[in-house]
């Protein structure tokens, strides 16, 4: 267990965030319309969004959020990053 800026980083939680992000990146690639960064880009963006969401949640909320809290925050972070990246691609191609 590593402590960083009063955030307890457990390897299991980080792995779960990455798995949730990969799944949601893949799902976003299937559900959202083009343009996109491709399957690999969607997977990467989903994983990074889930990690960012989990880390930010751990930074701003004291205590253990539990599995479902971490899952929800990772899902929200992944959706925001993938959706935001697709919006940027759409603006550039328009």
**Residues in Cβ contact with 74 at an 8 Å cutoff, skipping those fewer than 6 apart:** 16, 17, 20, 21, 50, 51, 53, 54
Give the pLDDT of residue 94. Answer: 64
Instruction: Give the tens place of pLDDT for each residue, 43-68.
Output: 898 899 888 888 888 777 766 667 78
Q: What is the pTM of this model?
A: 0.78
| Model confidence at 35: pLDDT above 80 | no
Rounded average pLDDT over 64-78: 79
Where are the chain's structural domains?
2-93
Contact call for residues 70 and 54 (beta carbons, < 8 A): yes
**Whether 18 contacts 54, CB under 8 Å:** no
Contact indicator for 1, 8 with CB cutoff of 8 Å: yes
pLDDT at 8: 61
pLDDT band at 13 (very low <50, low <70, confident <90, very high): confident
């Amino acid at each position: 267990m590593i402590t960083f800026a009063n955030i307890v980083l457990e390897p299991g939680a980080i792995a779960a965030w990455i798995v949730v992000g990969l799944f949601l990146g893949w799902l976003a690639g299937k559900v959202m319309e083009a343009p996109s960064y491709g399957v690999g880009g969607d997977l990467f963006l989903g994983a990074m969004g889930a990690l960012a969401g989990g880390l930010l949640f751990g930074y701003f909320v004291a205590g253990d959020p539990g599995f479902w809290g971490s899952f929800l925050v990772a899902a929200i972070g992944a959706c925001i990053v993938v959706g935001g990246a697709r919006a940027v691609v759409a603006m550039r191609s328009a």
